[in-house]
Amino acid sequence: MTNEAQQTLGATAQTTPETGNPAGNPADNPEAQVEKMFEYGYRKSNYGPDELVTDAHGNPISVVDAMLTAEKAAEAETVTPHLCYYSPRIPGNTGSAIRLCAVTGTILHLVEPLGFNLRDTKLRRAGLDYHDMAHVVLHPNFENLVESMPNSRIIAFTAHATKLYTEIEYKPTDILLFGPEPGNIPDPMDIMAGPHVAEQVRLPMRPSLRSLNLTNCASIAIYEAWRQLNFAGGR
C-alpha cells in the first residue's frame, strides 16, 4: 500500500468526538444524522422521560417548569384574547396551537382530561420548545379555568351558534373556547353552552362539509381578534 493510500485510509477511520462514529460525509454516517436532528427543538436520544429540549445553557427542562401557572396567566397583560382548548385529543393540534400562541402573544389554556401526554413527540414536532411552553397553562378541570379568570368573558366557538365570529368586538381579556376534536365522545354542550359562556359564535363553512381542523379554526379566530386590536405588539 502506498503512503498516499495509507493516509487516505487513516483519515477515513477518524471518529467524531461527539458520537465516536467515523467522520466524513454525513450521508455515510446515519447515526450522526439522527443525532443532528435532536440538537434543538426535538428530544435528544439520551434525555430522560420527563425532560423537554433545553434552556439557553443546554440544560434539560421539564414540561411543568416551562409552563405558566393559572395565577400568572390571570395577572398577565395580553394583546390578544386567551385561547382555551377543552379536553383536546390530538397532540399535533395542540402543538400547532402552542406555536400559534407563541407568535401572537396569546396564552393557551389546556383543560384536562387531555387525550395525550404533554411529552408526546407529535406535540413537540408541531412546534413545541421551551420558549413556546411559556405561553401554556394546564387546568385540572373547567371550573379551575373559570375561577382563575373571573374577569374574563368566555366566547365559545361551536357549530350550534347562529352568530358569526366577526360579529364580536374582542377584548384582550376574553377567552376563546374550543371544544375537543370530533370523535366518539359527544361535544360537551354543558361546557360550550353553560352559564359561564357569554357568547356563542361560529365560523362560516359551505354546507355538507364537516369541519375545519381545530387549530385552523383557532388561528382564524385569534387573528381576527388581533386585527380588531390593531395587531398590538406585532410588526
Binding site: what residues are annotated? 179, 203, 211
Cell for 65? 417548569
> Over the chain, what HEC string results?
CCHHHHHHHHHHCCECCCCCCECCCHHHCHHHHHHHHCCCCCCCCCCCCCEEEECCCCCEEEHHHHCECHHHHHHCCCCCCEEEEECCCCHHHHHHHHHHHHHHCCCEEEECCCCCCCCCHHHHHCCCCHHHHCCEEEECCHHHHHHHCCCCCEEEECCCCCEEHHHCCCCCCCEEEECCCCCCCCCCHHHHCCCCEEEEEECCCCCCCCCCCHHHHHHHHHHHHHHHCCCCCCC
Biggest CA pair distance of the chain: 86
Amino acid at 66: A
For residue 175, give the nearest of 63, 70, 65, 67 by alpha carbon.
70
Cell matching residue 141: 378541570
Query: Which residues sit in the known binding site for S-adenosyl-L-methionine?
Result: 179, 203, 211
Torsion angles phi and psi, residue 74, rounded to 5: -65, -30
